[in-house]
Structures are given as C-alpha cells and as structure tokens.
C-alpha cells in the first residue's frame, strides 16, 4: 500500500522505565517494542529470532511478566516497567543464572541466551525451587537449536542451589 | 514479508467508555487490540489487513475474574496466566485451565487474552472447545448497552462472528454447579509445547446408572470454526457405553465434522484423531 | 607447569558476553548513513524473466535498485562451479530466486517497495522429484540434470548376491530439513571503487564469501574483506548461503555508495536459504544363514535443488558413509546428486551422512529380522575391526571395538532388560513403548584429498606481555572454537587458558584455515594451532630466551626480550599431507578420512496408537571421538545434535507447494522445545588420535547420524511398523497403524 494514499499515524512518545532508568521512546504506535528498545536505547542484547512470538529470543520482562517484545506494540509500553538482559546483572556481578549458564555450558551460539535467561530468572522469581519438569515448562517458549536444552536445565537448577546457599 | 508498521495506527483512548464511543462513532473503522499475540504475528507476516486499532489492554475493568454462586465472570482481557492461576477456575473449570496452560509459552500466556482468543476466531483456538463444553455465554458491550449471547451461537462461519463493529467482548460467563461430571481435554499438536492444534477435543459427561445422562463434546481444528458436536451428543444421550455405542458415536462424529488438509495436517488424520479422542473419553466414562 | 587445560571443562571464552547481551551479532551493528536492503524474489519455480515493473506511489528515485546488469564482475556465486547466478537475469530456476535488490534508509518503506515490484515471468514446466529429474522429464541443468555421480566398488557384488542365502531389499527416504539457527542470516556491506568491498556478517566460512565477492566484483583479493560477527548458530546453513547475502548487500552498497544492512526475517530465511538434501536410498544386501553380510548393493540419490552449490561434496560424504562401520567383502555404491526446481539444498550438519546412515541402520534391522537374529547380534557379527577394510578400501587403523561400545551403550540404557520388559508390557496398552539403536561412524575433516587441496594455515602470535593470539579463519558459532583453540594453544605453551585470545575472524587479519565445516575445526585446524603454538615456543628456545625447564612465569619475559630484539613473535603452521593417507579420487578408493568418530546411540520411545504421536523418552549417546578437549562443550555438541536428530526423525517436515516452502514460520515448521527433548546421557570413549591435537578427533556432525535411525528402530520395536521415511509424522504413522490393524482383522 503506497504510503501517500493513506493518512499516516504520527509517531508517539512513550514514557517507560527500562532497567531502572526513565526512558522515552519515539516511534510509530504499532512499531515493535523489540525494535524501539534495540534501536533507540541500544539494548541490542534483546534478539530477534522469529518475529512471531514463537522462539522467545526477544523475551523481556514487562511489569514483572515475561513477554515477547516482538509482539508488543510500542504504544502499549506507556508507563511500563521493563527489564531486559542488560538489566539482569548487578553491575559486573552476574545473576546466579548467568553465572551458571557460563559454568554449565548452557549457552552455545548465544542468540537464545538473553531470552532464555530472562525466562529462567522470571521463573525463579515466581518459584524459587523448581523441579526439572517445571523448568522445562517455563522454558518451553524459548527455543534453542544448539544445546538440546539439557545443559540449560542443569544451569537453571545449579543456579537454584547457589542462590539457596547464599540465602 | 513484513508489513510496514508506519501504515498502522494504534490509539489508546483513556478509558473504556471512550473506546466504546469511538467504536460507535466510526463503526468498522477501528478494531480492538488487546495482547497482540495474534495480531502482531499477522503484522509480521504482512497479512494484517485492517489498519486502525484501539488499544484496550489497559481497560482494567475487563480483566477481572469474579465469582457468584451461580456463575463465573471472566473479563475478556484476562490472560491465560490469569485464567490458569485462578483457584476457582482450577477447581471447577479444569478444561479451561488446561487449555490456557497449553496455549503457547509463558510469554504468550502472559499477553494472550481469553477475549482475544475468541475474537480472533481461529478454528484451531485452544480455549473455545472448553468454553463450549461449559455452556459459556458472552457479554457484549457497546456504547448502547450490553447483551448476552450463548457462546455456542457466537461463531457463525470461518472468522465470522455474531459481533457488531461497535461491540466488544466484555466478559465470558461460565455457569457453575456442574459437579460430578467426567471431563476430558486433549490437544493433539505433535510436540508437547507451543503447538498449534491439529485436533483439540474437550468434553464432559454425566453418567447415571451406567448410561449417559448428559454430555458436551466440542472440537477445534475440524471445521471452519470451533464446534459443538451436537449430533454426536444427541446420539449418545441415554445410551450405555458399550462397544457398539462407541462405534456409533465415532461414525456420527466423523459425519458431523468437516476437517481439511492444510500445511499442518490432513483431513484424514484429523478425522481419525477426533474419533479416537472421543473413544478415549467415552471409554473413560464407561470405566468409572 | 600450569595445570593442563585440555580435558577440563574450561568455561566458554565468550560466555560472559553472551550471558550479558554484550556479544555483538551482525544485526547489533550500525554504520553511519546505513541503508536497509531487501530482496525481490521469484514467486514461481521455473520461468523466463520478461520484465520488471516498479509500481506506482513509491519514491523510486530515492531507492537504490540493483538488477543483474549492475554486477561489475561475473554474475555468479562462485563455489565449486559458477552455475548459480547472484541475481536471475533471464531464467528463473527456483522459487525465491533473487531478481531485484532494493535499499533505502527507511526500513519500513523498503517493505512497501518490495511489494511494489512486479516480476513478469513466463512460466516454464518445473520438476520437483528425484524420479522426474532422473527421467529427464525436463532438462533443467546442463545435459542430464546430474550434478555429480559417484561409484564405489569393492569385490564382486553380483557374484556374492547370487550365492548369498538371503537377499534383503529395501528403499528409504529422508526429507528436507531446515537448519533453523535461531539468528536469521544477515550481512552489512560497504563497497566502493577506492576501498573495495568489506562485509560483516553471520557466517561460517569467511574465505568462501571472500572468493565469491572477488569474482562478483572482479576485484583482487586484497580489495575484499570479510569479517565474521558473533554468529547465532550455523549447522551448515551459514556455510554457502552467506556468500549470496554478502553479494547482495555489497551490490547495493556499491551502487548507493552507502553502507547497507541486509537482515532476513525468519520467513524469508526459511523459504530462500538452503536445507538438508532430501534423499532416497535403495539397499540390496546379501547375507549368509549365520548372519554374515557378504554383499551390499547400495543406490543413493540426493535432490540437490536448482543449482550445484555443494551437492557433489554432500554426495561424497553420504556415499562413503552409506556402508557404515561394517566389514563386508563386496560393496557396490552408485550415487548421484540431481537437479530439481527447489531452492538449492546445501550443507547441514552431517552433510549427506545422516541420510545414508538412516537408510543403512533401518535396513539392517530388516536384515536381522529376515535372518532371524536380534538387531545387535547381526551388527556384532559384522562390525569392522582394526585391520579390516571399509567400503572404500580404507584399512581401519584405529583401535575401535564397536562391540564394546555397543555393550557400553546397552548398559547405560538398560537396553536388554527394557527390550524384554516392554515387549511384555505393550500388549493391552494404547501406548506402545520400544527401544532401538543405531551404530555408525563419521569421518572427521574433508574427504579424501580435500585437506591436501585446502592446505589450511593457522597462526599464533605472542605479545610482549606474554599473551597469545590465535589467528584462524575458523569461526565460533556456538560449538566452542574459541575455547578449544585457547585450550590447545595454552597447553602447547604451558600457559593458562586465560592468556590466550582467539582473534575475531577477519580476512584482513587471519590466514585461510579453511571453512568451519566437516567436523574439521578441532582435529585439523586445532592441530595447526597446536603446531603454530609450538613454533612460537621453538623460536624462544632456539634463541635462548627460554629453556625447557623454565616455568610459565618465564614465558612473558622471554617474549618481551624476543620482541625487543627481533620484532613480532609469530609462527604459522600449514596443513601437510600425511604420508600415511592415500586417496584415489578417480576410483573412490583409499583413506577417505584421516580418522572417524564411532557411535552407538540408543533411543527409547513411546508411541500413542490413538494419535500416532511418538515421543522420545530416553536417549543414550555413546561414542569414541579421540581425546575430549572440553567435556562440557563436547557433551553440549552431542546433546544439541541429538535434539536436531529428534526433529529430523519426528517433527521437522518441510511442506512444499509448487516448489515453495509454505510452512516457513517457526509456528508451522516445528522443532523440538524444552518439553520434547528426552533426558540425554552422553558417554565418551577416548582413544587418542595421533594426528589430532592432544589426540582429539572431530565431533560436531556425529550425533546427527545415529539419532534418527535409533529412534525409528525403536518405533518399529514398539509397534512392529516398518517405517522407511523420515520425518515420521503422526499422520504417516497413524495410517500405518490403521493399516496394520485392518490386516489383523482381515
């Protein structure tokens, strides 16, 4: 559809809080939050794998809930509190899940890793002691083609052990 | 091929009355946009035909799940996560919770809404078969008021609905008090998670003295819209579930559904599976 | 001495970048003034291009458009041959073939522009099956549609078949499979007459891209630069196709004078890029009464799609692996790769072997039934042993004992007890369980004299701080190149792994160590890294800066002194042909591979007879791969390969319509999720290989070979259904189960 023939929407300004900082996004209202965060805030740790909410590589937390940022129009981020992979570590101190993924081989090519970590961290915030079966369910929306998932399960369960020892 | 997001509008009216007012003022010009788990996929695929949407995600009054003695009212914007985590629904409407659990991954369940699942009108949707089994009704609202329709009468053909352009699905109403029924929900989609169903069958039956006193059978992915298999239900009422009755029910169901070949499966497979799942359900009724 | 790092699970070198989101993939990179590129593709499979129309309503003067006539050099993506155009000029030979390229700074506008270009193509008849191609129903490639044919001959097959007490025949097929790396393909290019062409991208083989660009632009090698960005999975899918995207992005950059980014969306990636070759294999096997295989007559055909790409090489590996790890005096293999009007099929982990191994391992279970032996007993009586010869006449010098490996796999999986128990429990249940296995080998490195021709080079440099830089064109794409190269170099020099940096592959800075394929990175290039590292040490020793007895703390000081006196401290190592490896390419005889990995995989499945759905419930992967450099990374390779094999066996079905993939979304082309992968237990037998670094062999492709046949053999054990094709969809299995039930009733 040629653009000139239709009245175009204006870009909208969206205020939200991202990884603990106030942020303003300026984009077409139907633009994907994925693109806005990557391009305007340089949060390129959020990955695009499929663009249809199937692979989970673009997973972020929005108001404490895991979402696929490729399926969120930017207009719906107004007032939202967002956490991306860049906001998971505490400065240089990695989250237990991040550390466990390094130690236990839970990342290979790394493209699913940010989304996978968000999904795992989100799980542990709702369920501090998941079983392997629960881990499998929680990560079913995050596809990994490299690892066969086995080492990801090991990583998440190891992170639980580390977190418990710390607490 | 992607769509250009620059040619789509998404406005956020500040409350529900404003949404309804806009829908009424320019009927057909605006359509509601909730969690986006279907519409954004179409947008990515370049297949989203309509261009102007109203963001209703923040209409909190449409998200509530409430219970009275006689019915459950589920706000159309209740997400699958809201549904599957609700204590009463878990206890009394297990099929719906199962459907919610089996729809997409966690991220989809956090954004996908029950109302959206209905309004998207996919014949492969996971929760509608459960809603049909529970004799759900819909509360539709518009600037002019509200009306209730039987969910069984809502879908009228492929992607066709008994819904005016100025109306929204506001609530899904489930009558309570159906204890003691034997229930069944099974979605067949080849892999264990994130599958689109090839066939989905939800059913419930009440048996008395070894015979079927009442029964509901609903299926997805075997017809232009999610359907109740009323002929099959009728053929079973009052019957004892012996092998002959089950064979008859299989045949009736096979004649009642109209599955097709598509990229996900074949008509032949869908028909066989629908019959096999029905048989599995009926046998489970017969043995208890 | 420091603690040797080889054999330890050193954490992935780039792990921290990957878990924090800092790792830089091509789509994370932006250049000033960058445009976005898009490709207009043919919607039909075969035809004559009559015209290109640019629809109304778009500012075409602002858009950069490129067609075949804009190509400065040769209009082809040069690989083995130059038959594949970069942009179709007159004829279109497959759907999704690129015809027009577009670029603009507005990435939304570019999507509208892509829709507005109309290709006028006069349709020609197309062919979509191996049979139609072989019958020359249409001639679509040169004289006879055959990209390559091969023959392997050992002994006298006809005589042996005539004498055999049993002759068992069977035909087997495998479907196309999409690599489905989670990062879609993409490139960024800068190109102009003054500086030449530079591309940054997601790719496996920097020098393949380099070669293709030099021919396309008719530029000297030094004017082309290819840089690998962090690469989000490859599995062969980023072996040859990145040359195409690099070419497209570079042409747009050349014409516009601006940097151009071209990132495929998932739908485009799945529809347009290469997939695993579909195959058909026919077996005729002669066996004696006591189960000795005396003749193997094998006919193997690959569907190569519309252009040659790497089909001859895929065919080669598939052919050599077709007779498996068995001792048989008489073997005849006839094979060919043929043209169809599908998008070209290409490299995918295993590279032809998973196809022919599937056929063989399914077939041997049929042979066992005919002879009246258990499947394992048949294998036991035929496994090749040290000193015996493979189909191509290669004498096995490795000390492999396949019987022992099989027993180990059986022990870990409880194979025998389960086989017996499941047979007892299955009757009366709608869920049938079964257990099956496959035994196989996989050659590491390029076939035959391939490594001699490649003559790969790796380089190691020491800095004055005593840090080591490894320079190789071998790419990290998740499999662990960075980490294992670090371990190898560190141990060669007696240093900590943290002292080693593996340089980002960039053709301006790294030598050509060949493509990152064929399970060759660790065994072949790793060995070069080891030699080069030893070369650095040798320089220090020879010049007296270091003594053998010095500890690692003396290393940095020695480097500083050397560099102060002589300048840069570098050593390189080039692959040299082994005097023990002989390959006769004309007769397809000799030492096909320097070394093999050996495997026995056991799968346990459950089949729901109501739905035809198969689930893999348990999996044991036992293999001998030489010395294991890094146990966690190695196990990760196996587990990931098994998961891909589960998809290959049961889920991943490319649905074609008129030569186009129509289920080109992750929603409809289904790969295993975290819920679908069984517990996988990995066991390594380690027999050090003298020519591998610290004794290591290749590992990456091995798991794809054995997984699918083990699963399908288990399905037969569960149901009695003889399945001859993967993917085994529930639709196919339910039909077979129904047919079997009807047969019983009749």
ipTM of the complex in this document: 0.97
pLDDT at res. C648: 98
**Residue B33 CB neighbours (<10 A):** 25
Q: Tell me the average pLDDT of chain B.
A: 96
Residue entry with tokens 């991306």: A84
Q: Where are the alpha helices (DSSP H) in chain B?
A: 16-25, 39-45, 80-84, 87-92, 94-101, 106-111, 114-119, 127-133, 230-236, 243-256, 267-286
Q: Indicate which of B32, B107, B193 best probes the interface with A, i.e. most A CBs within 10 Å of its own CB.
A: B107
Q: Is B43 on the interface with A (CB under 8 A)?
A: yes
Nearest CA in chain A to B37: A71
Res. A3: pLDDT tops 50: no
Sort out which chain B residues have CB atoms less than 8 A from A15's CB and list them: none
What whole-number distance in Å separates Cα of residue C741 and Cα of residue C746? 9
DSSP three-state, residue B256 = helix
pLDDT at res. C335: 98
Q: Which two tokens stand for residue C501?
A: 């940096």
Residues of chain B whose beta carbon is less than 8 angstroms from a beta carbon of chain C are 1-7, 41, 44-46, 105, 188, 190-196, 198, 263-266, 268-269, 272-273, 276-277, 279-280
pLDDT at res. A9: 84
DSSP three-state, residue C457 = strand
* Whether C655 and B263 lie within 8 Å, measured CB to CB: yes
Sort out which chain B residues have CB atoms less than 8 A from C734's CB and list them: 269, 272-273
**Residue C288 CB neighbours (<10 A):** 15
Sort out which chain A residues have CB atoms less than 8 A from B12's CB and list them: 29, 75-76, 78
**Residue A128 CB neighbours (<10 A):** 11
Among the CATH numbers 3.30.1340, 3.30.43, 3.40.50, 2.40.30, which is that of B5-55?
Answer: 3.30.43
Neighbours of chain A (3+ CB pairs under 8 A): B, C
Confidence of residue B288 (pLDDT cuts 50, 70, 90): low
**Å from B182 to nearest chain C CA?**
20
C395-435 pLDDT, tens per residue?
Answer: 999 999 999 999 999 999 999 999 999 999 999 899 999 99
Q: What share of chain B is helix, strand, coil (3-state, %, to 5)?
A: 35, 25, 40
Partners of residue C595 on adjacent β-strands: C444
* Whether A50 and C14 lie within 8 Å, measured CB to CB: no
Sort out which chain C residues have CB atoms less than 8 A from A104's CB and list them: 632
**Structural domain boundaries of chain C?**
15-23+450-574, 31-124+180-272, 279-447+587-745
The yes/no answer on whether domain C15-23+450-574 falls in CATH 3.30.365.10 is: yes
Res. A1: pLDDT tops 50: no
Instruction: Give per-residue burial for B245-263: e unless 16+ CB within 10 Å, then b.
Output: bbeebbebbbebbebeebe
- Mean pLDDT in consecutive groups of 10 residues from the start of chain C, 746 residues: 87 98 98 98 98 96 98 97 97 98 96 96 98 98 98 98 98 98 98 97 98 98 98 98 98 98 98 98 98 98 98 98 98 98 98 98 98 98 98 96 98 98 95 98 93 96 97 97 98 96 98 95 97 97 94 93 97 94 95 97 98 98 98 98 98 98 96 98 96 95 98 98 98 97 84
**Number of cross-chain residue pairs from A and C with Cβ atoms under 8 Å apart:** 181
**Å from C735 to nearest chain B CA?**
8
B5-46 pLDDT, tens per residue?
Answer: 999 999 999 999 999 999 999 999 999 999 999 999 999 999
pLDDT at res. C551: 85
Confidence of residue A4 (pLDDT cuts 50, 70, 90): very low
pLDDT at res. C745: 80
Q: Is C635 on the interface with A (CB under 8 A)?
A: yes
**In this structure, are residues C462 and C492 in contact, taking their beta carbons and an 8 Å threshold?**
no
**In this structure, are residues C500 and C2 in contact, taking their beta carbons and an 8 Å threshold?**
no
pLDDT at res. B190: 86
Q: Which CATH superfamily is domain A8-87 in?
A: Beta-grasp domain (3.10.20.30)
Sort out which chain B residues have CB atoms less than 8 A from A119's CB and list them: 106-107
Crossing angle of helices A150-166/A96-104, nearest 10°? 130
CB-closest option in C12, C116, C675 to A140? C675
Phi then psi for residue A18, to 5 deg, are: -125, 120
- Work out the end-to-end distance of chain C between its first and last CA atoms, rounded to an integer number of angstroms: 76
- Work out the end-to-end distance of chain B between its first and last CA atoms, rounded to an integer number of angstroms: 53
Among the CATH numbers 3.30.390.50, 3.20.20.70, 2.60.40.10, 3.40.50.300, which is that of B185-286?
Answer: 3.30.390.50
pLDDT at res. C2: 66
Q: Which fold has domain C279-447+587-745?
A: Aldehyde Oxidoreductase; domain 4 (3.30.365)
**Structural domain boundaries of chain A?**
8-87, 96-166
pLDDT at res. B179: 87
Instruction: Give per-residue burial for C28-57: e unless 16+ CB within 10 Å, then b.
Output: bbeeeebbbbbbbbbebbbbebeeeeeeee
Confidence of residue A5 (pLDDT cuts 50, 70, 90): very low
Q: Which CATH superfamily is domain A96-166 in?
A: [2Fe-2S]-binding domain (1.10.150.120)
Res. A2: pLDDT tops 70: no
Phi then psi for residue C545, to 5 deg, are: -80, -20
Sort out which chain A residues have CB atoms less than 8 A from C634's CB and list them: none
Q: Parallel, antiparallel, or unpaired: how do β-strands B71-75 and B65-67 relate?
A: antiparallel
| Environment class of C260 (CB within 10 Å of its CB; exposed 0-12, middle 13-18, buried 19+) | buried
Q: Taking the domain C31-124+180-272, which CATH number applies?
A: 3.30.365.10
**In this structure, are residues A65 and A48 in contact, taking their beta carbons and an 8 Å threshold?**
no
CB-closest option in C112, C633, C666 to A143? C666
DSSP three-state, residue C28 = helix
Res. A7: pLDDT tops 80: no
Q: Which fold has domain B60-175?
A: 3.30.465
Sort out which chain C residues have CB atoms less than 8 A from A47's CB and list them: 25, 182-183, 232
**At CA B36, angle to CA B32 and CA B41, rounded to 5?**
120
- Work out the end-to-end distance of chain A between its first and last CA atoms, rounded to an integer number of angstroms: 58
Specify the length of chain C in residues: 746
């Amino acid at each position: 559809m040629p653009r000139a023939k239709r009245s175009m929407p204006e870009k909208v300004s969206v205020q939200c809080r991202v990884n603990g900082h106030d942020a303003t996004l300026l984009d077409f209202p139907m633009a994907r939050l994925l693109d806005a965060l990557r391009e305007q805030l340089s949060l390129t740790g959020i990955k695009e794998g499929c663009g249809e909410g199937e692979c989970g590589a673009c997973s972020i937390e929005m108001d404490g809930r895991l979402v696929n940022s490729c399926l969120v129009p930017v207009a719906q981020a107004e007032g939202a509190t967002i956490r991306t992979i860049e906001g998971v570590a505490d400065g240089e101190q990695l989250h237990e899940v991040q550390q466990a993924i390094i130690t236990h081989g839970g990342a290979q090519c790394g493209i699913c890793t940010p989304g996978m970590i968000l999904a795992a961290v989100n799980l542990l915030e709702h369920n501090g002691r998941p079983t392997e079966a629960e881990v499998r369910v929680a990560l079913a929306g995050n596809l990994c083609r490299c690892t066969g998932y086995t080492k990801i399960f090991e990583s998440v369960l190891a992170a639980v052990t580390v977190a418990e020892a710390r607490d | 091929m992607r769509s250009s997001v620059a040619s789509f509008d998404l406005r956020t009216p500040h409350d529900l009355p404003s949404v309804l007012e806009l829908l009424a003022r320019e009927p057909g010009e605006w359509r509601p946009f909730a969690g986006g788990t279907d519409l954004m996929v179409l947008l990515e695929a370049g297949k989203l035909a309509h261009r102007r949407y109203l963001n209703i995600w923040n209409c909190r009054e449409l998200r509530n799940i409430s219970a009275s003695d006689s019915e459950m009212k589920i706000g159309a914007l209740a997400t699958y996560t809201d549904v599957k985590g609700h204590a009463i629904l878990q206890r009394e409407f297990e099929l719906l919770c199962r459907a919610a659990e089996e729809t997409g991954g966690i991220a989809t369940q956090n954004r996908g809404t029950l109302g959206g699942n209905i309004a998207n009108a996919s014949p492969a949707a996971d929760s509608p078969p459960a809603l049909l089994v529970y004799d759900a009704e819909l509360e539709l609202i518009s600037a002019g008021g509200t009306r209730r329709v039987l969910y069984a009468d809502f879908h009228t053909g492929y992607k066709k609905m008994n819904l005016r352009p100025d109306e929204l699905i506001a609530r899904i109403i489930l009558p309570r008090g159906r204890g003691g029924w034997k229930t069944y929900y099974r979605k067949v989609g080849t892999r264990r998670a994130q599958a689109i169903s090839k066939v989905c069958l939800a059913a419930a039956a009440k048996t008395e003295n070894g015979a079927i006193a009442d029964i509901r059978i609903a299926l997805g992915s075997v017809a232009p819209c999610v359907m109740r298999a009323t002929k099959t239900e009728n053929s079973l009422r009052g019957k004892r579930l012996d092998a002959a009755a089950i064979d008859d029910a299989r045949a009736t169901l096979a004649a009642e559904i109209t599955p097709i070949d598509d990229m996900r499966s074949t008509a032949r497979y869908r028909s066989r599976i629908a019959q096999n799942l029905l048989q599995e359900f009926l046998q489970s009724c017969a043995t208890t | 001495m420091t603690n040797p790092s080889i054999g330890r699970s050193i954490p992935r070198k780039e792990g921290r970048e990957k878990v924090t989101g800092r790792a830089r993939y091509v789509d994370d990179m932006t250049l000033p003034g960058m445009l976005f590129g898009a490709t207009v593709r043919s919607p039909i499979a075969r035809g004559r291009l009559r015209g290109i129309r640019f629809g109304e309503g778009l500012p075409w003067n602002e858009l950069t458009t490129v067609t075949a006539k804009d190509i400065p050099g040769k209009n082809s993506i040069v690989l083995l041959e130059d038959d594949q155009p970069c942009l179709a000029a007159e004829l279109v030979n497959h759907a999704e073939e690129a015809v027009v390229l577009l670029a603009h700074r507005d990435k939304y506008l570019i999507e509208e522009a892509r829709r507005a270009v109309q290709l006028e193509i006069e349709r020609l008849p197309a062919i979509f099956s191996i049979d139609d191609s072989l019958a020359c129903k249409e001639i679509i490639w040169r004289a006879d549609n055959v990209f390559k044919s091969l023959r392997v001959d050992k002994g006298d097959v006809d005589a042996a078949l005539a004498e055999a007490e049993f002759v068992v025949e069977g035909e087997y097929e495998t479907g196309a499979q999409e690599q489905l790396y989670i990062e879609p393909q993409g490139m960024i290019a800068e190109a102009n007459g003054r500086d030449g062409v530079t591309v940054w991208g997601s790719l496996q083989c920097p020098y393949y891209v380099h070669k293709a660009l030099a021919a396309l632009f008719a530029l000297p090698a030094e004017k082309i630069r290819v840089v690998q960005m962090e690469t989000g999975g490859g599995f062969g899918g980023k072996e040859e196709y990145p040359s195409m995207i690099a070419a497209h992005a570079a042409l747009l950059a050349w014409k516009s004078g601006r940097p151009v980014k071209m990132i495929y969306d998932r739908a485009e990636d799945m529809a347009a890029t290469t997939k695993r070759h579909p195959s058909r294999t026919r077996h005729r096997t002669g066996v004696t009464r006591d189960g000795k295989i005396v003749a193997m007559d094998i006919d193997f055909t690959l569907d190569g799609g519309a252009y040659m790409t790497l089909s001859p090489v895929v065919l080669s590996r598939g052919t050599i692996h077709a007779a498996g790890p068995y001792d048989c005096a008489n073997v005849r293999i006839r094979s060919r790769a043929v043209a169809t009007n599908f998008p070209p099929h290409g490299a995918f982990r295993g590279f032809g072997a998973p196809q022919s191994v599937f056929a063989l391992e399914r077939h041997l279970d049929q042979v066992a039934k005919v002879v009246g032996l258990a499947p394992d007993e048949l294998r036991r009586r035929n496994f090749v042993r040290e000193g015996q010869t493979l189909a191509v006449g290669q004498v096995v010098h490795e000390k492999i004992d396949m019987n022992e490996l099989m027993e180990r796999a059986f022990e870990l999986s409880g194979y025998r007890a389960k086989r017996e128990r499941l047979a007892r429990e299955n009757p009366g249940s709608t869920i049938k369980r079964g257990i099956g296995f496959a035994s196989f080998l996989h050659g590491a490195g390029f076939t035959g004299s391939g490594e001699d021709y490649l003559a790969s080079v790796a380089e190691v440099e020491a800095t004055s701080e005593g840090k080591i830089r490894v320079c190789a064109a071998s790419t990290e794409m998740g499999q662990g190149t960075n980490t294992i190269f670090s371990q190898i170099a560190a141990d060669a020099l007696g240093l900590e792994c943290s002292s080693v940096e593996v340089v980002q592959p960039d053709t301006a800075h790294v030598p050509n160590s060949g493509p990152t394929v064929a399970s060759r990175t660790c065994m072949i290039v790793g060995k070069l890294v080891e030699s080069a590292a030893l070369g650095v040490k040798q320089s220090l020793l020879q010049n007296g800066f270091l003594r053998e007895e010095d500890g690692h703390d003396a290393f940095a000081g020695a480097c500083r002194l050397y560099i102060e006196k002589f300048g840069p401290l570098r050593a390189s190592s080039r692959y040299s042909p082994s005097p023990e490896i002989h390959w006769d390419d004309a007769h397809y005889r000799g030492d096909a591979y320097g070394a093999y990995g050996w495997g026995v995989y056991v799968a346990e499945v459950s089949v729901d007879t109501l739905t035809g759905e198969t689930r893999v419930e348990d999996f044991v992967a036992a293999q001998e791969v030489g010395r294991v450099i890094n146990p966690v990374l190695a196990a990760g390779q196996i587990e990931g390969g098994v998961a891909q094999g589960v998809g290959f066996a049961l889920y991943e079905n490319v649905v074609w319509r008129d030569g186009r993939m129509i289920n080109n979304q992750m929603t409809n082309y289904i790969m295993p999720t975290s819920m679908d992968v069984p517990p996988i237990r990995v066991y390594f037998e380690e027999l050090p290989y003298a020519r591998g670094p610290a004794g290591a062999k290749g590992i990456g492709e091995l798991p794809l070979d054995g997984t699918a046949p083990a699963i399908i053999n288990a399905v037969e054990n569960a149901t009695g259904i003889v399945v001859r094709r993967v993917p085994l969809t529930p639709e196919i299995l339910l039909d077979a189960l129904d047919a079997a039930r009807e047969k019983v009733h009749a």
